[in-house]
Amino acid sequence: MTAPKRSITSTSEAASPALPKRARGRPRKTAEERDDGNRRGALLAAAARLFRRQGFDATSTRDIAAAVGMHSGSPFYHFKSKKALLCAVMEEGMRSAIARQAHAVQDVPPGPQQALQQMRRLIRAHFDTLHGRGNDFVPVMLYEHRSLTSAQRASLTKLQDSYEAAWTPVLEVLHASGQLRAPVKLARLLILGALSWSVQWFDPKKGASLDELTEACMVLFLKEC
Protein backbone atom coordinates (compact mmCIF):
# COMPACT_ATOMS: atom_id res chain seq x y z
CA MET A 1 0.00 0.00 0.00
CA THR A 2 1.13 3.45 -0.74
CA ALA A 3 -0.10 6.62 0.89
CA PRO A 4 -3.83 6.40 1.59
CA LYS A 5 -6.15 7.95 -0.95
CA ARG A 6 -8.15 10.79 0.43
CA SER A 7 -10.26 13.62 -0.83
CA ILE A 8 -8.19 16.05 -2.81
CA THR A 9 -8.15 19.54 -1.44
CA SER A 10 -5.37 21.00 -3.49
CA THR A 11 -4.30 20.67 -7.08
CA SER A 12 -0.90 19.64 -5.90
CA GLU A 13 -2.56 16.56 -4.41
CA ALA A 14 -0.15 16.15 -1.58
CA ALA A 15 -0.63 13.05 0.51
CA SER A 16 -0.26 14.22 4.06
CA PRO A 17 0.55 11.65 6.73
CA ALA A 18 -2.43 9.55 7.77
CA LEU A 19 -1.70 9.34 11.47
CA PRO A 20 0.97 11.11 13.49
CA LYS A 21 2.54 7.85 14.68
CA ARG A 22 4.76 10.02 16.73
CA ALA A 23 7.77 8.80 18.64
CA ARG A 24 7.69 5.46 16.96
CA GLY A 25 10.32 5.87 14.26
CA ARG A 26 14.05 5.41 14.55
CA PRO A 27 16.31 8.24 15.74
CA ARG A 28 16.38 11.37 13.60
CA LYS A 29 19.39 12.00 11.39
CA THR A 30 20.13 15.45 12.76
CA ALA A 31 18.74 17.04 15.87
CA GLU A 32 17.61 20.06 13.90
CA GLU A 33 14.28 19.92 12.13
CA ARG A 34 13.04 17.55 14.73
CA ASP A 35 9.84 19.55 14.51
CA ASP A 36 8.66 16.58 12.50
CA GLY A 37 5.43 16.90 10.64
CA ASN A 38 7.12 19.63 8.66
CA ARG A 39 8.99 17.30 6.40
CA ARG A 40 6.58 18.33 3.69
CA GLY A 41 7.51 21.95 4.18
CA ALA A 42 11.19 21.06 4.02
CA LEU A 43 10.61 19.28 0.71
CA LEU A 44 8.80 22.31 -0.65
CA ALA A 45 11.60 24.68 0.30
CA ALA A 46 14.32 22.42 -1.08
CA ALA A 47 12.40 21.87 -4.29
CA ALA A 48 11.87 25.60 -4.74
CA ARG A 49 15.57 26.29 -4.34
CA LEU A 50 16.67 23.54 -6.70
CA PHE A 51 14.00 24.24 -9.30
CA ARG A 52 15.03 27.88 -9.34
CA ARG A 53 18.71 27.11 -9.66
CA GLN A 54 18.64 24.24 -12.10
CA GLY A 55 15.20 24.19 -13.60
CA PHE A 56 12.45 21.62 -13.16
CA ASP A 57 13.63 19.00 -15.62
CA ALA A 58 17.24 19.29 -14.61
CA THR A 59 16.35 18.60 -10.98
CA SER A 60 15.68 14.98 -10.07
CA THR A 61 13.41 13.91 -7.25
CA ARG A 62 16.51 12.20 -5.88
CA ASP A 63 18.24 15.60 -5.64
CA ILE A 64 15.35 16.98 -3.68
CA ALA A 65 15.15 14.00 -1.38
CA ALA A 66 18.88 14.18 -0.68
CA ALA A 67 18.64 17.89 0.09
CA VAL A 68 16.39 17.13 3.08
CA GLY A 69 18.09 13.87 4.06
CA MET A 70 15.49 11.53 2.63
CA HIS A 71 15.92 8.52 0.40
CA SER A 72 14.97 8.44 -3.22
CA GLY A 73 11.44 7.14 -2.99
CA SER A 74 10.32 9.13 0.02
CA PRO A 75 9.18 12.37 -1.62
CA PHE A 76 6.40 10.33 -3.19
CA TYR A 77 4.99 9.70 0.24
CA HIS A 78 4.34 13.46 0.50
CA PHE A 79 3.54 14.28 -3.12
CA LYS A 80 1.92 12.01 -5.61
CA SER A 81 4.20 13.07 -8.45
CA LYS A 82 7.05 15.39 -9.30
CA LYS A 83 4.65 17.72 -11.07
CA ALA A 84 2.41 17.83 -8.02
CA LEU A 85 5.42 18.96 -6.04
CA LEU A 86 6.15 21.67 -8.58
CA CYS A 87 2.56 22.82 -8.46
CA ALA A 88 2.61 22.94 -4.67
CA VAL A 89 5.73 25.12 -4.81
CA MET A 90 3.96 27.55 -7.12
CA GLU A 91 0.76 27.60 -5.07
CA GLU A 92 2.71 28.30 -1.93
CA GLY A 93 4.55 31.08 -3.73
CA MET A 94 1.37 32.72 -4.92
CA ARG A 95 -0.28 32.47 -1.55
CA SER A 96 2.55 34.25 0.16
CA ALA A 97 2.84 36.80 -2.65
CA ILE A 98 -0.84 37.64 -2.34
CA ALA A 99 -0.52 37.98 1.41
CA ARG A 100 2.53 40.23 1.10
CA GLN A 101 0.76 42.35 -1.47
CA ALA A 102 -2.35 42.77 0.64
CA HIS A 103 -0.27 43.73 3.62
CA ALA A 104 1.64 46.27 1.57
CA VAL A 105 -1.33 48.26 0.29
CA GLN A 106 -3.39 48.29 3.45
CA ASP A 107 -3.32 51.44 5.52
CA VAL A 108 -2.08 53.72 2.79
CA PRO A 109 -3.37 57.11 4.01
CA PRO A 110 -6.02 58.70 1.76
CA GLY A 111 -5.26 61.88 -0.07
CA PRO A 112 -4.13 63.15 -3.45
CA GLN A 113 -0.98 61.04 -3.34
CA GLN A 114 -2.69 57.83 -2.31
CA ALA A 115 -2.60 56.10 -5.68
CA LEU A 116 1.04 56.97 -6.19
CA GLN A 117 1.92 55.54 -2.83
CA GLN A 118 -0.11 52.41 -3.48
CA MET A 119 1.67 51.97 -6.77
CA ARG A 120 5.04 52.30 -5.07
CA ARG A 121 4.04 49.72 -2.49
CA LEU A 122 2.80 47.27 -5.11
CA ILE A 123 6.04 47.54 -7.02
CA ARG A 124 8.15 47.13 -3.93
CA ALA A 125 6.12 44.14 -2.72
CA HIS A 126 6.59 42.50 -6.10
CA PHE A 127 10.35 42.94 -5.92
CA ASP A 128 10.38 41.57 -2.39
CA THR A 129 8.47 38.52 -3.60
CA LEU A 130 11.02 37.94 -6.33
CA HIS A 131 14.24 38.84 -4.59
CA GLY A 132 13.70 38.42 -0.86
CA ARG A 133 15.72 35.88 1.07
CA GLY A 134 14.42 32.38 0.48
CA ASN A 135 11.75 33.63 -1.88
CA ASP A 136 12.35 31.07 -4.59
CA PHE A 137 8.76 29.98 -5.01
CA VAL A 138 7.43 32.68 -7.32
CA PRO A 139 10.53 32.84 -9.52
CA VAL A 140 10.06 29.14 -10.13
CA MET A 141 6.53 29.86 -11.23
CA LEU A 142 7.63 32.56 -13.62
CA TYR A 143 9.67 30.32 -15.82
CA GLU A 144 8.45 26.82 -15.16
CA HIS A 145 4.84 27.35 -16.14
CA ARG A 146 5.09 25.00 -19.09
CA SER A 147 5.98 21.99 -16.96
CA LEU A 148 2.54 21.79 -15.34
CA THR A 149 -0.43 19.80 -16.56
CA SER A 150 -3.21 21.91 -17.99
CA ALA A 151 -5.39 21.23 -14.94
CA GLN A 152 -2.66 22.48 -12.65
CA ARG A 153 -2.14 25.51 -14.83
CA ALA A 154 -5.81 26.37 -14.63
CA SER A 155 -5.78 26.20 -10.87
CA LEU A 156 -2.76 28.47 -10.68
CA THR A 157 -4.25 30.95 -13.10
CA LYS A 158 -6.88 31.78 -10.51
CA LEU A 159 -4.24 32.76 -8.01
CA GLN A 160 -2.37 34.79 -10.60
CA ASP A 161 -5.52 36.57 -11.66
CA SER A 162 -6.21 37.49 -8.08
CA TYR A 163 -2.68 38.82 -7.71
CA GLU A 164 -2.84 40.89 -10.87
CA ALA A 165 -6.31 42.17 -10.11
CA ALA A 166 -4.96 44.21 -7.21
CA TRP A 167 -3.09 46.38 -9.68
CA THR A 168 -6.05 47.37 -11.82
CA PRO A 169 -7.87 49.86 -9.56
CA VAL A 170 -4.62 51.61 -8.75
CA LEU A 171 -3.68 51.88 -12.41
CA GLU A 172 -7.15 53.16 -13.22
CA VAL A 173 -6.88 56.00 -10.76
CA LEU A 174 -3.47 56.90 -12.11
CA HIS A 175 -4.81 56.77 -15.64
CA ALA A 176 -7.71 59.04 -14.77
CA SER A 177 -5.39 61.57 -13.17
CA GLY A 178 -3.09 61.62 -16.20
CA GLN A 179 -0.15 60.03 -14.41
CA LEU A 180 -0.45 56.93 -16.58
CA ARG A 181 -1.20 57.39 -20.24
CA ALA A 182 -1.10 53.85 -21.68
CA PRO A 183 -4.27 51.74 -21.72
CA VAL A 184 -4.65 50.20 -18.27
CA LYS A 185 -4.75 46.59 -19.40
CA LEU A 186 -1.65 46.82 -21.57
CA ALA A 187 0.08 48.93 -18.95
CA ARG A 188 -0.49 46.24 -16.36
CA LEU A 189 0.94 43.53 -18.59
CA LEU A 190 3.96 45.61 -19.56
CA ILE A 191 4.70 46.84 -16.06
CA LEU A 192 4.40 43.42 -14.47
CA GLY A 193 6.62 42.09 -17.23
CA ALA A 194 9.28 44.70 -16.59
CA LEU A 195 9.29 43.84 -12.89
CA SER A 196 9.17 40.08 -13.36
CA TRP A 197 11.96 40.07 -15.89
CA SER A 198 14.26 41.33 -13.17
CA VAL A 199 14.68 37.72 -12.05
CA GLN A 200 16.93 37.41 -15.09
CA TRP A 201 19.32 40.21 -14.21
CA PHE A 202 18.88 41.54 -10.68
CA ASP A 203 21.72 40.76 -8.32
CA PRO A 204 21.19 41.85 -4.72
CA LYS A 205 24.95 41.86 -4.16
CA LYS A 206 25.70 44.52 -6.75
CA GLY A 207 24.13 47.29 -8.74
CA ALA A 208 21.00 49.08 -7.66
CA SER A 209 19.11 48.33 -4.45
CA LEU A 210 15.46 47.35 -4.41
CA ASP A 211 14.60 50.87 -3.27
CA GLU A 212 16.43 52.41 -6.19
CA LEU A 213 14.82 49.93 -8.55
CA THR A 214 11.40 50.82 -7.22
CA GLU A 215 12.00 54.53 -7.74
CA ALA A 216 13.31 53.91 -11.24
CA CYS A 217 10.06 52.13 -12.03
CA MET A 218 8.00 55.00 -10.66
CA VAL A 219 9.70 57.61 -12.83
CA LEU A 220 9.77 55.30 -15.83
CA PHE A 221 6.08 54.45 -15.83
CA LEU A 222 4.46 57.55 -14.39
CA LYS A 223 4.45 61.08 -15.70
CA GLU A 224 5.30 63.16 -12.63
CA CYS A 225 6.67 61.93 -9.36
Partner DNA sequence: CCTACCGATCGGTAGG
Binding interface with a second copy (CB under 8 A):
54-58, 143, 145-147, 180-183, 186-187, 189-198, 200-201, 208, 212-213, 216-217, 219-221, 223
CB-nearer residue toward DNA: 20 or 112: 20
Residues 2-31 that bind DNA (CB under 7 A): 2-3, 25
CB 124, min distance to a second copy, A: 14
Residues 27-46 that bind DNA (CB under 7 A): 36, 39-40, 43
Given a second copy, DNA, none, residue 208, with its beta carbon under 5 to 8 Å by kind, binds a second copy
CB 201, min distance to a second copy, A: 6
Of 22, 24, 71, 133, the one binding DNA (CB under 7 A) is 71
Helices 82-105 and 114-131, packing angle to 10 deg: 150
Work out the end-to-end distance of the chain between its first and last CA atoms, rounded to an integer number of angstroms. 63
Of 69, 105, 132, 155, the one binding DNA (CB under 7 A) is 69
CB-nearer residue toward DNA: 11 or 196: 11
Cα Rg of the chain, angstroms: 20
Neighbours of 163 (CB within 10 A): 19
Distance separating alpha carbons of residues 138 and 129, to the nearest angstrom: 7
Given a second copy, DNA, none, residue 74, with its beta carbon under 5 to 8 Å by kind, binds DNA
CB 76, min distance to DNA, A: 4
CB-nearer residue toward a second copy: 58 or 99: 58
Question: Which spans of this chain sit near DNA (rule: CB under 7 A)?
Answer: 1-3, 25, 36, 39-40, 43, 59-62, 65, 69-74, 76-78, 80-83
